[in-house]
Amino acid sequence: MSGLDIGYMQGMCDLVAPLLVVLDDEVVVHSCFNTLMTRMIENFPTGNQMDENFANMRALMQVLDEPLYDKIQQNGDFSHFYFCYRWFLLDFKREFSYEHVYRVWETIWAAEKVASPQFFLFIALGLVESYRDIILDRNMDFTDIIKFFNEMAERHEAGRVLAISRDLVNQLQDLITET
């Protein structure tokens, strides 16, 4: 089943919009969107990927930044990491400006082949790590973190977040190599 066989769901317009901006052919946009949705459809309500994304994000943070993970856990039940919901649903489309979302998407697509098919998780952790000191200094709880990232939408520095994400992949590879 392709992503378009299930019909429209809220959020799909966010995924197709950047394609429409760049491509001037609706047939090509349709084909690209269908391919994108093949990867993304399980994040939508008909799929079951979102719970796995939250669990993987939680585990990744626990392994790579246990002090931040512990602090977040102290401030409430973050077991589901719902503050990442929009990131995973829309492939970070609302987190970066149009100019930068293309770079983020290209990195995710390339990373599937050369680094990890779950590189998007490292980008999510990279976003959190970009503001680690703010989160800790302000002793943010769940509501504060959601509000903070909502206010920061389209204002993140893609280059910085991607560099942090790449460093996180290297840290995890080093940990695996050491064991």
Structural domains of the chain, with CATH: 1-47 (no CATH), 48-178 (1.10.472.80)
Q: Which residue has the higher pLDDT, 1 or 104?
A: 104
Q: What is the pLDDT of residue 16?
A: 92
Asked if residue 82 lies in contact with residue 54, where contact means CB atoms within 8 angstroms, the answer is: yes
Rg (CA), the chain: 17
Asked if residue 124 lies in contact with residue 50, where contact means CB atoms within 8 angstroms, the answer is: no
Secondary element (H or E) of residue 76: none
SS3 118: coil
Average confidence (pLDDT) over 40-68: 90
Residue 102, CB-side half-sphere exposure with 13 Å CA sphere: 9
Distance CA 46, CA 53 (A): 15
Q: What is the pLDDT of residue 79?
A: 61
What is the pTM for the complete model shown? 0.89
* pLDDT digits 0-9 by tens, 131-173: 999 999 999 888 899 999 999 999 999 999 999 999 999 999 9
Asked if residue 149 lies in contact with residue 127, where contact means CB atoms within 8 angstroms, the answer is: yes
Amino acid identity of 169? V
Most distant CA pair in the chain, distance: 51
